[in-house]
Amino acid sequence: MARIAVVGVGAIGGAVAAPLVATGAHDVTLCVREAFASLVVESPAGRLELPARCERDPARAAPVDWILLATKAYDVPAAAPWLRALCRAGATLAVLQNGVEHRERVQPYAGAAEILPVVVECPAERIAPGHVVQRAAARLTVPAGRAGDAFAALFAGTLVAIERSPDWQSVAWRKLCLNVASGPLLALTGRPHEVLHAPGMADLALGLMRECIAVGRAEGAQLAETLLDEILARLLATPGSAGNSMLYDRRAGRRLETDARNGAVVRLGERHGIATPLNAAVCALLEASVDCAAGGER
């Protein structure tokens, strides 16, 4: 039996915690700000409603074998008390977040724990504390190796697909190419995927992705020439009524993951001397839109 702490039980944290709890094979603690009695995940596979063992105080955190960090990327510093309490020699910190800087983001807080970066494909939305609506099956990609194999074993017998990649970096950059286009364009317009069929929007998406690909290649990612067309086709084939996490966060007035997505392209592009004007513009617009929505107060 593995001892697991899930830090950040929002959409992704809830969607991955529920199947682990449902196996009955693990000791799962939910590290939360607001406790709830039940963890509910509604998905195309059905409804899971499970007793939730929540802990709100890092000082009471018991040693664990696995820490699953599923906060937003910008919330890592806020999760530091949990990470300091849970990370130790022999534990593994799995980072289930967006972007391509998983290790760099958590290294200052990981202590002696091993870091395992995870690319998450799981369209889900938290609609209330402990209540998640998941719109498709989850797929998690980890680096191939001992830690990746052990992570996959945690989810044995569940519907969560675990892929182990010998080139995790390229997988992360391919997802970022999708995120730098779909997230901001939906969030800025306040419209679901149908907006990508509006005049000029597909070209804008392609421009954002071209910059991302150029920076990703400079970072060493293997990104095929066909990637642009593949991602655009995927975006345009998505049901028009579908949203994404950045749109949901924008509608709810929550802080946006701009820095981990488009901001990473701009920041790493500067390091390589690669111009990223479209991603820089999107970052400025997203930040300004949040300021406006908050009445100028962040």
Q: Catalytic site residue 72?
A: no
Query: Are 246 and 187 a contacting pair, CB within 8 Å?
Result: yes
Place of tokens 């998406």: 205
| SS3 per residue for 212-278 | HHHHHHHCCCCCCCCHHHHHHHHHHHCCCCCCCHHHHHHHCCCCCCCCCCHHHHHHHHHHHCCCCHH
- The three-class DSSP label of residue 14 is helix
Q: Checking DSSP bridges between strand 46-51 and strand 38-43, what pairing results, if any?
A: antiparallel
In the chain, the largest separation of any two C-alpha atoms, in whole Å, equals: 54
Decide if 228 contacts 210 (C-beta within 8 A).
Answer: yes
Residue tagged active-site, from 175, 193, 250, 261: 175
Catalytic residues: 175
